[in-house]
Amino acid sequence: MRDATAMQEFARENRLGRHLLPILGKWLSKKHFELIEEALLEDEEVSLSFLVRFETAQNLLDEEGKERTKKLTWRTSQGYYAFALTNLNRLLYAHWRPFKAVSESVMFDRLTDVKISTSFLMGYVRVGTLEDDFYLYYFSPSIKRIGKIMQTAAIEHKIMRLLTSSEEVEEER
């Protein structure tokens, strides 16, 4: 995939996140994925994409260095990032706001650890890199899938192939 619309549709169809803002969510999602489209190298293809809430570990600390207990706000335009895993073993992530666009990348070999934590409804994945750690938040079923994808990228330096529900049934037989 090299097209922002295709990346957005992939994330939606595979239940790997979507923007929860009711009216502008789809438009904002596309803006995030357009930044990823611009950040791709010439011979680079996106293998997998998702859209979730993002927070750096540094932003979650209070003045004393302890983790804040602030409740996460879901229906807002702040904090949603588009993510893409590419065939060149890069994790790209991007966030668009008026007058400010953020686009970064991390090579799979720079990922140090991945921790998945879920509750009944919501969950998060903590991704450790050599530079900084960050959190990905979303609904538990999606976070479990994203966490497994990130663990595969961190440990094996490759992208896990997603199975559709019909392929999962065939594989069990």
What mean pLDDT comes out for the span 84-102? Answer: 92
Check whether 63 has a pLDDT greater than 60: no
pLDDT for the residue 23: 80
DSSP state of 152: H
CATH number of the domain within which 149 lies: 2.30.29.30
Nearest to 137 by CA among 87, 85, 90, 78: 78
For residue 29, what are the domain limits? Answer: 4-172
pTM value?
Answer: 0.83
Tell me if 122 sits within 8 A of 138, measured CB to CB: yes
Our count of domains for the chain comes to 1
* pLDDT tens digits, 122-139: 888 989 998 888 889 899
Q: From CA 26, how far away is CA 56, in angstroms rounded?
A: 24
